[in-house]
Amino acid sequence: MATRDFYNVLGIPRDASPDDVKRAYRALARRWHPDRNPDDPDAEQRFRDITEAYRALSDPENRARYDRLGPLYTEDGRPPRPDEVGEMLGGVWRNIFRRKGKERGEDLRYTISLSLEDVAAGVEREITVPRRVRCRTCAGDGADPNGGKKTCPVCKGSGKPTGTRLFRTDCYHCDGRGYNVEKRCPTCDAEGRITLDDILRVKVPGGVATGQKLKLAGKGNVPRGPGAPGDLFVIVNIAEHPLFRRRGEDVLVELPLTFVQLALGADVAVPTLEGRTTIRIPAQSPPGKVLRLAGRGLPKVGRSMRGDLHIQLVLEVPTELDASQRQALHEWADGLAPSQHPRRLEFDEAVRSRDS
Query: Is the fold of 6-98 the same as that of 244-355?
Result: no
Classify domain 244-355 by CATH number. 2.60.260.20
pLDDT at site 220: 96
pLDDT at site 105: 92
Locate all alpha helices (DSSP H) within the chain, ordered by sequence: 6-10, 18-32, 43-58, 60-69, 82-98, 116-121, 259-264, 323-334, 342-352
How crowded is residue 14: how many other Cβ atoms within 10 Å of its Cβ?
A: 12
pLDDT at site 163: 61
Look at the chain and count its residues.
Answer: 356
Q: State CA 243 to chain mean position distance.
A: 32
pLDDT at site 168: 56
What residues have CB less than 8 Å from 173, skipping those under 6 apart?
11, 28, 46, 152, 153, 154, 155, 180
Domain ranges of the chain: 6-98, 244-355
Contact between 121 and 244 under an 8 Å Cβ cutoff? The reply is no
pLDDT at site 80: 63
Closest Cα to residue 311, out of 283, 287, 340, 284? Answer: 287
pTM: 0.69
Tell which CATH architecture fits domain 6-98: Orthogonal Bundle (1.10)
Q: How many whole angstroms separate alpha carbon 182 and alpha carbon 224?
A: 17
Q: State CA 296 to chain mean position distance.
A: 33
**Tens digit of pLDDT per residue, the chain (356 long)?**
456 788 888 888 888 899 999 999 999 999 889 888 887 778 888 899 999 889 989 989 888 888 887 767 777 666 666 665 555 555 555 554 554 456 789 999 999 999 999 999 999 999 999 999 999 999 888 899 998 888 988 888 888 877 655 555 678 888 788 888 888 899 998 889 999 999 999 999 999 999 999 999 999 999 987 889 999 999 999 999 999 999 999 999 999 999 999 999 999 999 999 999 999 999 999 999 999 999 999 998 878 789 999 999 999 999 999 999 999 999 999 999 989 999 889 999 999 898 86
pLDDT at site 26: 93
pLDDT at site 174: 83
